[in-house]
Amino acid sequence: MSSVQSLNANAQIMRRGNALLVNVNAAKGLQNVLRSNLGPRGTLKMLVGGAGQIKITKDGRVLLHEMQIQHPTACMIARTATAQDDATGDGTTSVVIFIGELLQQAERFISEGVHPRIMSDGFEIAKEAALKFLDSYKVEKPDILKKRDLLCNVARTSLRTKLTPKLADQLTDICTDAVLTVTKPGEPIDLHMIERMHMKHRSAASSRLVKGLVLDHGPRHPDMPRMVENCFICILNVSLEYEKTDVTSGFVYKNAAERQRMVSAERTFTDEKVHAIVALKRKVCTEENGKKFVIINQKGIDPLSLDILAKDGIMALRRAKRRNMERLSLACGGFQVNSVEDLKEDCLGEAGKVYEQVLGEYHYTIVEDVKHPQSCTILMKGPNPHSIAQLKDAVRDGTRAVKNAIDDLALVPGGGAFEIACHDYLLSILDTVKGKKKLGVKAFAEALLIVPKVLAENSGLDVMDTLISLKEEYKKAAKEAGCPKDTISSLLDDVCDEPSKSSGSIAHAYVGLDVNSGEPTHPPSSGVWDNFIVKRQFVQLSTVIASQLLLVDELMRAGRRMGKK
């Protein structure tokens, strides 16, 4: 009897064998939930919240976040998969499916008496080999920034797994252009500079990219222009209203005239600031240049100040969000001014068009046609909240995919091409792995095939037929491409040692599944690309978690104070 049991007769414990079974079943359960979502032909899931909220999605991240998962093992897998998404923005579903398959394959051998430690050692070798193989298999694209078409293909592959092909194609250009807008050579890409804004309006097909900014409020004075063209943008953080004092204070006056003097002195304080702005406007907006003037203020502007500004034809927006202020100066040029004394011509930004759009009770101001935008807004329109939510998640995935491609300067052919090639490679190195560990490598290689299998299954194809034709086609293509078995095996010499020098020179065959026809295809020609970093994380994370779960031999309920000091 174990010590825990003799200490507490009521302790809930699951022993070796049983613990493994529980873990495998949990992984299998989660895999079964998510497997129907994989790939462009996967089905959707409908999530219903406690208060009747509805979400329709096939995004693994959203499902795992929103589903109520009770089983601790399933919870752990879900956390790993969402960690994958946090790091790379994609690949959640694949990770869950792969972990489930790794455990199932391992269980087959363990039930025949192989120790879990041997399997996990085998997984480790296979992981290292697979990562090295991936390094040589990726297609390097050093000048990807100049190849917009290629980036569009990456975005399209990602978007088509989440939306209908028509809508995905429409958003492809939007996502690619948005990322290219915020990309500055030599600097890391900050996707926060792409604002994702939604409007409940018309259909998703009218979504568009605004190379500028969309603010969710309008000018507050009825006489102000609702649309101006060719204008200066003055970005302010100056209060143009009465301010309450921060300290407790009072005014003492003897008669009405004295009070009046105090009121007008206070008013003058604000008015002077407004007049300084108006003076600048008169100076820069002449009849000849025909320029207009727009103020976007982070602080408030009171009605009297608005009145003065409106009389001079200035469009003024108050209480803009702080995060928009930074974007605004990136989009239009110029910079934010904190005091009217610093107001100069060179702090002004410029925009081609600023106009208000009113949808029901919501007002939006759109700042467009800016000269050198470094920040932009994707304006998503949809008829109802759940289609807007779906669009938002898809756009997030699309932009992340393009960013990853630019960061990696490399891509991996999709449609299961990597999995099939890596499977073949791992089998080819099997003989060189000594002892029982090769069983682990074999299990890993078999588990990799789950991706093309599920892609075929979700497309309504015969899984075995498809897999065999894919494998045959790969063998044929590999032969033609000139990578005979012994050349591939030479990669192995360094599986556990130094990185391979020869790996870069091996010709690879790219054979993936065409989900529409069910035939083997050449993914690079059909523009199906996955991200390198996503595949890397996929191999790495899944193996680590599967090995850990294999090595669990006892599951016990810990006390309530677990984790507390």
Ligand X SMILES: Nc1ncnc2c1ncn2[C@@H]1O[C@H](COP(=O)(O)OP(=O)(O)OP(=O)(O)O)[C@@H](O)[C@H]1O
| Single-letter code of the amino acid located at 546 | A
Q: How far is the CB of 282 from ligand X (least distance, A)?
A: 55
Q: What angle do CA 469, 474, 479 make, to 5 degrees?
A: 130
Pull the structure tokens for residue 81: 């998969």
Q: Which residues bind ligand X (CB under 6 A)?
A: 37-40, 42, 59-61, 85, 90-94, 157, 160-161, 397, 414-415, 451, 455, 513, 515, 528, 530
The entry of Mg ion, ligand X, none near residue 414 (CB within 5 to 8 angstroms by kind) is: ligand X
Q: How far is the CB of 35 from Mg ion (least distance, A)?
A: 14
Our CB check for ligand X shows the closer of 428 and 466 to be 466
Size of the site for Mg ion (CB under 5 A): 2
Our CB check for ligand X shows the closer of 35 and 132 to be 35
When asked if residue 90 is in the footprint of Mg ion (CB under 5 A), the reply is yes
Our CB check for ligand X shows the closer of 59 and 177 to be 59
Our CB check for ligand X shows the closer of 211 and 403 to be 403
Q: Residues 199, 379: contact at Cβ < 8 Å?
A: yes
Which single residue brings its beta carbon nearest to ligand X? 414
Adjacency order of strands within the sheet including 376-382: 194-200, 376-382, 208-210
In sequence order, what DSSP letters do the residues of 57-104 get, joined into one string? Answer: E--HHHHHHHS---SHHHHHHHHHHHHHHHHHS--HHHHHHHHHHHHH
Q: Residues 142, 66: contact at Cβ < 8 Å?
A: no
C-alpha to C-alpha distances, 288 to 233, 285, 292, 312, nearest whole angstrom: 18, 8, 12, 17
Q: How far is the CB of 454 from ligand X (least distance, A)?
A: 9
Our CB check for ligand X shows the closer of 331 and 513 to be 513
Q: How far is the CB of 24 from ligand X (least distance, A)?
A: 21
The entry of ligand X, Mg ion, none near residue 176 (CB within 5 to 8 angstroms by kind) is: none
Q: How far is the CB of 161 from Mg ion (least distance, A)?
A: 5
Instruction: Label residues 492-509 b or e (16+ Cβ within 10 Å = b).
Output: bebbeeeebeebeebebb
Phi, then psi, of 162 in degrees rounded to 5: -120, -25
By CB under 5 A, the residues from 145 to 204 that bind Mg ion are 161
Stretch that binds Mg ion, among 83-91, 119-127, 410-418, 427-435 (CB under 5 A): 83-91
List 473's β-bridge partners, or say none.
Answer: none
C-alpha to C-alpha distances, 295 to 219, 285, 355, 381, nearest whole angstrom: 10, 13, 13, 27
By CB under 5 A, the residues from 332 to 391 that bind Mg ion are none
Q: How far is the CB of 90 from Mg ion (least distance, A)?
A: 4
Our CB check for ligand X shows the closer of 281 and 535 to be 535
Phi, then psi, of 109 in degrees rounded to 5: -75, -40
Q: How far is the CB of 65 from ligand X (least distance, A)?
A: 11
State the DSSP H helix or E strand holding residue 135, giving kind and residue range, or none if neither: helix 116-137
The entry of ligand X, Mg ion, none near residue 59 (CB within 5 to 8 angstroms by kind) is: ligand X
Our CB check for Mg ion shows the closer of 124 and 393 to be 393
List of residues contacting Mg ion (CB under 5 A): 90, 161
